[in-house]
Structures are given as structure tokens and as C-alpha cells.
Amino acid sequence: MFYTYFLRSINNQNETYIGFTTDVKQRLDAHNSGKSMYTQKDKPWKLEAFFCFDTELKALRFERYLKTNAGKIFLKRYVISDKTE
């Protein structure tokens, strides 16, 4: 299986990261251990959501979509919980 995942920094709630992997737990551990240069300054990270796909192409396309304006609106509307609820 192939996954698109959404992370949020625990220390800086405004920092998020969207990525692709075949192993969500291993990838989260890599982000939290500083092995990714894009996320090491805002670690530790928590997994907010992940989406599972049967093909790599679908997962990569969804990752690319989530990084667009429309994708960010999708995440806010359907995935990110409102702290006031």
C-alpha cells in the first residue's frame, strides 16, 4: 500500500508537512529523529491523518493535490479538527 500523510509540529502548531511513504510509522519516526532536513527544525511531529492508496501514482497525485490551495481547503474542512468543537 502507498500512503499520503499529514503531520503537524507539536511545538509549533502552525507548521505542517505533507508527504508520501509506504510505511507511515517508519516515516514519522524518521521525521521525529531529524532524518528529514525539511522537518528537523520543527520536531517533534504528530500524525494528523493519512490516506491509503492501492497505487503509488494515486498517492503521489493526492500528495501533490494536498499541497495546492484547494488541497489545503480540503484538509481544513474535512480533516483538521476545530479546537473549539
Domain harbouring 55, CATH code = 3.40.1440
Compute the Cα dihedral for 32, 29, 65, 38 and give only its sign: positive
Neighbouring residues of 30: CB distance < 8 A, sequence distance ≥ 6: 36
Of 8, 12, 22, 13, which Cα lies nearest the Cα of 56? 22
Write the pLDDT tens digit of every residue in 6-53.
999 999 989 999 999 999 999 999 999 999 999 999 999 999 999 999
Query: Which residue range forms the structural domain that includes residue 18?
Result: 2-79
Whether 70 maps to a domain, the answer reads yes
Whether 85 maps to a domain, the answer reads no
Write the pLDDT tens digit of every residue in 42-62.
999 999 999 999 999 999 999
* Number of C-beta neighbours around residue 61 at 10 A: 14
Give the largest CA-CA distance in the chain: 36
What's the pLDDT at 80? 82
Please name every residue paired with 18 in a beta bridge, in sequence order, or none if there are none: 6
Whether 84 maps to a domain, the answer reads no
